[in-house]
């Protein structure tokens, strides 16, 4: 039996804005974009990880009631969710390229723990660590 995680999701406040950010600034590709009434299943993939999808989901029905959705949006906007990690070959070069595309960083590249890392947030507030692969 072959098993594994195929989709991990993030809550975003605007799916179109999130889609533009992940595709145009981070280089992801659209995998699935389908709707069912007000619900939209939207996933993207990193070009070097075609078996894994990152879901860009808007909190709300049918998954969350209105009060819970509002609380989830507030937590994400504060940057309170655990950060995701994007591994790159050269953190400083990726930082400069992404900054040139308008990505707002919360931390410039720093050497520590035997590698280099930087931090940024997506337009909804989800935190990311940009970490250089150990050579």
CA distance 128 to 79: 10
Residue of 6, 81, 87, 18 whose CA lies nearest to 48: 87
Report residue 134's pLDDT band, with 50, 70 and 90 as the boundaries: confident
DSSP strands (E only) in 26-121:
29-36, 39-45, 53-57, 84-88, 105-112, 115-121
**pLDDT tens-digit profile of 72-121?**
999 999 989 999 999 999 999 999 999 999 999 999 999 999 999 999 99
Report residue 135's pLDDT band, with 50, 70 and 90 as the boundaries: confident
- 124 with 12: CB under 8 angstroms? yes
Residue of 42, 16, 48 whose CA lies nearest to 30: 42
**For range 36-47, the mean pLDDT:** 95
**For range 15-30, the mean pLDDT:** 98
**For range 25-35, the mean pLDDT:** 97
């Amino acid at each position: 039996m072959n098993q594994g995680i195929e989709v991990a999701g993030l809550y975003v406040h605007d799916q179109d804005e999130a889609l533009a950010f992940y595709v145009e600034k981070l280089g992801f590709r659209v995998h699935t974009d389908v709707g069912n009434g007000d619900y939209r299943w939207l996933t993207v993939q990193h070009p070097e990880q075609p078996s894994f999808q990152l879901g860009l989901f808007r909190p709300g029905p049918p998954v969350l009631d209105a009060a819970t959705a509002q609380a989830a949006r507030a937590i994400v906007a504060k940057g309170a969710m655990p950060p995701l990690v994007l591994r790159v070959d050269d953190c400083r070069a990726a930082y400069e390229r992404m900054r040139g595309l308008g990505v707002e960083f919360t931390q410039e590249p720093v050497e520590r723990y035997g590698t280099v890392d930087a931090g940024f947030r997506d337009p909804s507030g989800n935190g990311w660590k940009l970490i250089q692969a150990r050579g």
